[in-house]
Structure 1
Amino acid sequence: MLTARYSAASNRLLGGLPPRTRDRFLAECTLVDLVLGRILYERGDLIRHVYFPVDSSVSMLAVIDRERTALEVGMVGSEGMCGHALVLGSDVAPLRALVQGAGTSWRMKASTFRRQLENVPALRQLLWRYVGVLFGQLAQAAACTRFHVVEQRLARWLLMTQDRSHADSFEVTQEFLAFMLGIRRVGVTIAAGSLQSKRLIRYRRGRIVILNRDRLEAAACSCYLADLQIYQDGLGTRSKLQRVTHARAAKERTP
């Protein structure tokens, strides 16, 4: 019964657990709907729940200037979890967690999660590895913001969002994109217009449609593949990276 339930609503990170361990873990979770724009916790909040997204996504935001300004430094979807501070023994959120893509997520009470960590070695080892992956991706995001141009960063962000939404189209406003990328709205207009003129995306009335995934990957900065490599190296999950790199290799071999 639970295995069928999991197959209908899966999280790739939890998929790294042995099946029986995973099913016992999920038996203590609740499948919830995450609403677009909802703040799961602010920086400094007590973490009361952990989340394992299924088809939703959560932006991890660094807040500055007394929390008037924020910048996305990470994104969590079905490949990860939200609430990683608990894995390190803290119960205080280091970043703002904002629902970027509406959808479903497994949710577990923090007290239950701590007990699971203490009693289930396989879970503890998996999540220690995941936290290492997350730190590597956060560092990659910081370098990306500093060194790569807006159009490349936007292409990367769109690919990451598509990966987590499992759809070719999604709703996002220019204001939200500017907020996520830490730029002015005019910068979003120019970058999105350039991608649209190349027929990589269609952007109209707050909805983006990915028209050509392969060419959008080529337009993105190297940080997109770097993120996948960090995940593979840390968790041994090769399928997504292999799909992208093999597709690129095949195109390069084509005369």
Structure 2
Amino acid sequence: MEPAKVFFNSNLLFLRKRKKYSQQQLAELLGYTRAKYTAMENGHTENPPLADLVKISDFFHIPLDYLLRHDLGRLSEFDLRKMETGAKEYINGKNLRVLSITVNAENKENMEYVPVKAKAGYAAGCTDPEYLAALPKFTLPNLPKDGTYRMFPTTGDSMLPIPDGSDVVARYVQDWKTLKPDTLCIVILKGEQDFVFKQVTLQKDGTLLMRSLNSNYRPYTVAVNDVLEIWQYAKHQTDKLPEPETDLQEIKMLIRNMQHQLQSNLAYRNK
């Protein structure tokens, strides 16, 4: 039986470079001498103490099994981010991200509201307990108790008839494969791309098809690796009153007047 392949030292090098630490900086952060750390990274420490392995696992938020037995350099940045935020709850093969939440004094989940001024920083702060703790929190009646909810502001007219400036209450989607085609969702994108409110369909090629309710906007696709979170629409609130529907007879009259005006213009030109 071949000995199990261990990736500890190569993973240590990979994680250090990914975080842009020098060997000296990381050694100090871990409480090691430079010589001790360098020996581990270079593979000169044949059997690192279990306490050191656990410390490094906790420091990088990487499960110990993955730190030792998996080549982390082969994982996508998306999978690494999910592993870091999920740590022990990371589920191999299902790639499910574990959500950071806050709770009230009764140990019940809060509903956070992401105001416009905090919107641009949500993608970077959504896993940061301090960022989440600073968000406004509240409760709403008549929401199912088996989900996690947040409220997001929307902008623009791409989702009309849902008005510009509406606040969308949405339920966290743990497994994206459960989404039905054209499900209304808030999609949190990586980096500076902010988040969007669209009809979402998970396609066979692993991309997300994003459609607007307003047909004037063309559909587009987003790579799954560019997505951090998906929240399914539950309800929305707005301070804008709906415009009254135009009477059908009035529409017919407007069309007739336009036709009459066009005919008059043509007759005038032909004189």
User: What TM-score do the two structures reach when normalised by structure 2?
Assistant: 0.26
Structure of greater relative contact order (alpha carbons < 8 Å, 6+ residues apart): 1
Identify the structure with the greater helix proportion.
1
| Higher CA-based Rg | 2
Q: Scaled by the length of structure 1, what TM-score is found?
A: 0.27
